[in-house]
Amino acid sequence: MIEQHLLLKRVDFIFVQDTDWEKILQKSIHRTKQELINELISSELKGRGGAGFPTGLKWKLTSEAAGDEKYVICNADEGEPGTFKDREILTRVPYKVLTAMAVCGFIVGAKNGIIYLRGEYKFLEKPLKDAINEFSYFCNKINLDFTIKIFMGSGAYICGEETALFESLEGKRGEPRNKPPYPSISGYRKKPTVINNVETLAHTYTIFKYGAKKFYDLGVQYSRGSKLFSISGDTPKPGIYELELGMSLQDFVDEFGDGDTKAVQVGGASGFLVPRKKFHETAIGYQGKLVGISLPTGGSMMIFNSSRSMYNLLDNYLEFFREESCGQCTPCRIGCQQLLAGIKAVKKGERPAPYLDKLLKLSETMQYTAKCGLGQSVANSFASIVENFREEMIY
Partner 1 sequence: MDSLHKRIIALADLHGRTRESLLPILQGVVEYDNYLSQKSMVEISKELDLPASEVYGTATFYSFLEHRKMGKFTIRVCKTISCSMKGKNQILLAIKEMLKIDIGQTTQDGRFSLVETNCLGWCHKAPAMVINHEVFTELTPEKVRGILGEYMKKEI
Nearest to 84 by CA among 57, 124, 46: 124
Closest distance between partner 1 and the C-beta of residue 153, in Å? 8
Q: Is 122 in the site for partner 1 (CB under 8 A)?
A: yes
323 or 391, CB closer to partner 1? 323
What b/e string do you get for 152-173 counting C-beta neighbours within 10 Å, with b at 16 or more?
A: ebeebbbbbbbbbbbbbbeeee
Do the bridges between strand 239-244 and strand 226-233 make them parallel or antiparallel, or are there none, so unpaired? antiparallel
Question: Which region, judged by CB under 8 A, interacts with partner 1, from 104-112, 203-211, 289-297, 310-318?
Answer: 310-318
Structural contact between residues 127 and 94, judged by C-beta atoms closer than 8 angstroms: yes
Cis-peptide, bond into residue 331, ω within 30° of zero: no
172 or 213, CB closer to partner 1? 172
Q: Is 116 in the site for partner 1 (CB under 8 A)?
A: no
Report the amino acid identity of residue 70. K
Number of alpha carbons in the 13 Å side-chain half-sphere of residue 310: 28
Q: Is 316 in the site for partner 1 (CB under 8 A)?
A: yes
d(CA 351, CA 49): 38
d(CA 218, CA 207): 12
Site string for partner 1, 283-302 (x = CB under 8 A): -------------------x
Sites for partner 1 among residues 325-354 (CB under 8 A) = 326
Closest distance between partner 1 and the C-beta of residue 165, in Å? 12
Structural contact between residues 356 and 341, judged by C-beta atoms closer than 8 angstroms: no
Sites for partner 1 among residues 374-393 (CB under 8 A) = none
d(CA 93, CA 19): 9
Q: Which of 234, 242, 244, 251 binds partner 1 (CB under 8 A)?
A: 234
How many helices (DSSP H) and strands (DSSP E) are in the chain?
Answer: 15, 11
Q: Is 231 in the site for partner 1 (CB under 8 A)?
A: yes
Sites for partner 1 among residues 133-152 (CB under 8 A) = 151-152
Q: Which of 13, 21, 84, 279 binds partner 1 (CB under 8 A)?
A: 84
d(CA 313, CA 381): 10
Do the bridges between strand 219-220 and strand 193-197 make them parallel or antiparallel, or are there none, so unpaired? unpaired
Q: Which of 308, 333, 344, 347 binds partner 1 (CB under 8 A)?
A: 308
3-state SS class at 149: strand
Closest distance between partner 1 and the C-beta of residue 72, in Å? 17
Closest distance between partner 1 and the C-beta of residue 52, in Å? 21
Q: Which of 239, 330, 350, 361 binds partner 1 (CB under 8 A)?
A: 239
3-state SS class at 182: coil
Q: Which of 160, 176, 233, 299 binds partner 1 (CB under 8 A)?
A: 233
Q: Is 171 in the site for partner 1 (CB under 8 A)?
A: yes
218 or 243, CB closer to partner 1? 243
Q: Which of 6, 240, 249, 329 binds partner 1 (CB under 8 A)?
A: 240
Q: Which of 198, 253, 269, 310 binds partner 1 (CB under 8 A)?
A: 269
Q: Could you list the residues that contact partner 1 (CB under 8 A)?
A: 78-84, 87, 118-123, 151-157, 168-174, 230-234, 238-240, 265, 269, 302, 304, 308, 312-313, 316-317, 320, 323-324, 326
